[in-house]
Chain A
Amino acid sequence: MARRNIMRNSLRSALACFGIVIGVVAIASLGILGFTLQAGFMDNMGDVANQIEVTPASGGDDPMGGTPTEDTLSDRDVRDVRQAAVGASVLPVKEEVVEIEYGTSSVTRTAYSVPEPDALFDAEEGRVPAQMSSGVLVGSTLAETTEVNVGSAVTVDNSSYRIVGILEEEPWTAPLNPNFGIIVPEGELRDEEYSSVIVEDESAEAANSTAQRIDESMNRRDDVVEVQESSEMIENIQEQQRLLNLFLIGVGSISLFVAGVSILNVMLMSTVERREEIGVLRAVGVQRTSVLKILLAEAALLGFVGGAVGVAFSILIGGVINHFMLEDALMVFRPANLRYLLTAMGFAVGISLLSGAYPAWKAANKRPVEALRG
């Protein structure tokens, strides 16, 4: 009966439904978009959360009037880090600006050296050796711009090397980011001192306490080193994204609210139009609660149909978003996304019921004799 009543003014009902569809799509797809952004970020950044970067404390002039703070770390510093970071792998990094010649061209870039590069990097092409001896690894952006391949020869500051691997793109939150540079064997760089030390721990939590230990043991008297955790930065970014997500969903909710108002309008119009019918039903012995139920059922049906269509559209849109951002359309079916879809659906039915409640209550409580006065 509720369905037929809705069909009676199908255009009006369809428009109200359409409002709900838009609202649901807005909430769900904005939610999915936000979550996908987050997931995409975590895919990139997640694997560096357990890394710590230890760099020389930057301080410029010593306030005590002593020697200016050094901008490199000595072997002693590295040993201190090792002592503080028991159980984690400690990778001292050297870096230097070098001239890289390939084919007939050349560029000036940073060259890094690090023991066990395979602990930090993965290869896009070729391989990352555990110990570098005669080959070099090229960062992803540098490889793209120079169009060099695995196996080709390059000259770094007059020494020749063969490229053994092209690196995968490293997230910008990574402590050591050689996207624009090159990784050369240890000992090839003239510098005796280290630019930074990367500490890789088992987990983000472990990295957190290790960072604290390093800070406490090395900076007891003066600020010798600066300890930066990737996880801290990642947490900050995640917090920002969570806020952005809430904002997006808030915008979506407004449109669903507007849809609710349009359902209120449809239900009011429809109860005014059907005043006499409702009066007759009441006259022939249909209880108020039954009238209330049928009108609420109509509102809920509008909300449900609108919600279902909206959810279908949102899955479609979410699939497209996921396809382009994460290269897997089926990621849209992850639990967090399903939660958005369910929430949007619940909102749709809830708002419809809420806006149907007043007209329904009004119609059901009208005295039949008034309704029938013509």
Chain B
Amino acid sequence: MILELEDAVKRYDSGEETLTVIDGVDFGVERGEFVTVMGPSGCGKTTMLNMLGLLDEPSEGTVRLKGEDVTGLDERERTRARKESIGFVFQYFYLIPSLTAEENVEAPTVFSGGSGGRAAELLEKVGLGDRKDHKPNELSGGQKQRVALARALVNEPDVLLADEPTGNLDKGTSKRALEQIRSVCDEGVGVVAVTHDERVKEYSDRDVQLDDGVVV
């Protein structure tokens, strides 16, 4: 397993009430495997993804990255682990509007010496070689998502986490985005996509149903 959750529990304290969002989940993804996590809104998909992506810590249980327990790492070490091993794709893309497509892809690397031309290669690969000097507001939704995908890959991650990757795309562009994620997977990167879009399943190796914080 490249990335796994072991009996993970996530609770939120809101005053007197304690809300258990994730309740004892065991989950893992292999290198080169595409896993879809399905479930209705509010079932804890995003929380699970955040724990996998070291953005959030489980209240109980263990997170393992490449076999190593990363549960208790401090913020700095977690940030470094994210940089080295994990790529993110978000539903709302979150591109930086003042930067061009290429600069957006390079953004994660600017504080560590740049991507050395990898940003341009990745844009070429996702079919945006001719758009690399465009600003986000000059790109369509599908193109933005591909820039976001290229950005997620610029640090050569071992695993790619996607939160509703097709949530803001129409049918045609969804297909293209999913094909590209699939091809990333075929290069040996583990992929976890959380979604309620049934179409994503068609591209994945395995799907997991999450309901009320439990895998069913």
A142 at the interface (CB under 8 A from B): no
A286 at the interface (CB under 8 A from B): yes
Whether the pair A374, B111 counts as a contact (CB closer than 8 A) is no
Nearest Cβ on chain A to B196's Cβ, whole angstroms? 16
Q: How many residues of B contact A (CB 8 A)?
A: 28
Nearest Cβ on chain B to A284's Cβ, whole angstroms? 4
Whether the pair A282, B107 counts as a contact (CB closer than 8 A) is no
Q: Say whether, besides A276-B92, A288-B79, A372-B90, A283 and B53 are in contact (CB < 8 Å).
A: yes
Cα separation A5 to B108 with both chains bound (whole Å) = 16
Whether the pair A4, B99 counts as a contact (CB closer than 8 A) is yes
A144 at the interface (CB under 8 A from B): no
Q: Say whether, besides A280-B88, A284-B108, A374-B92, A7 and B83 are in contact (CB < 8 Å).
A: no
Chain B residues with CB below 8 A from A279, complex form? 94
Whether the pair A1, B110 counts as a contact (CB closer than 8 A) is yes
Cα separation A285 to B109 with both chains bound (whole Å) = 9
Nearest Cβ on chain B to A4's Cβ, whole angstroms? 4
Q: How many residues of A contact B (CB 8 A)?
A: 23
Which residue on B lies nearest to A293, using beta carbons?
B111
Chain A residues with CB below 8 A from B80, complex form? 285, 287
> Looking at the complex, which one of A7, A286, A368 makes contact with B55 (CB distance below 8 Å)?
A368
Cα separation A282 to B83 with both chains bound (whole Å) = 9
Q: Say whether, besides A368-B55, A372-B94, A288 and B50 are in contact (CB < 8 Å).
A: no
Interface string of B95-128 (1 = CB under 8 A from A): 0111100000001101100000000000000000
Q: Say whether, besides A7-B98, A369-B50, A369-B55, A286 and B108 are in contact (CB < 8 Å).
A: yes
Whether the pair A280, B155 counts as a contact (CB closer than 8 A) is no
Whether the pair B98, A4 counts as a contact (CB closer than 8 A) is yes
A334 at the interface (CB under 8 A from B): no
Nearest Cβ on chain B to A58's Cβ, whole angstroms? 78
Cα separation A372 to B80 with both chains bound (whole Å) = 19
B contact residues vs A (CB 8 Å cutoff)? 50, 53, 55-56, 75-76, 79-80, 82-84, 86-88, 90, 92, 94, 96-99, 107-108, 110-111, 151-152, 155
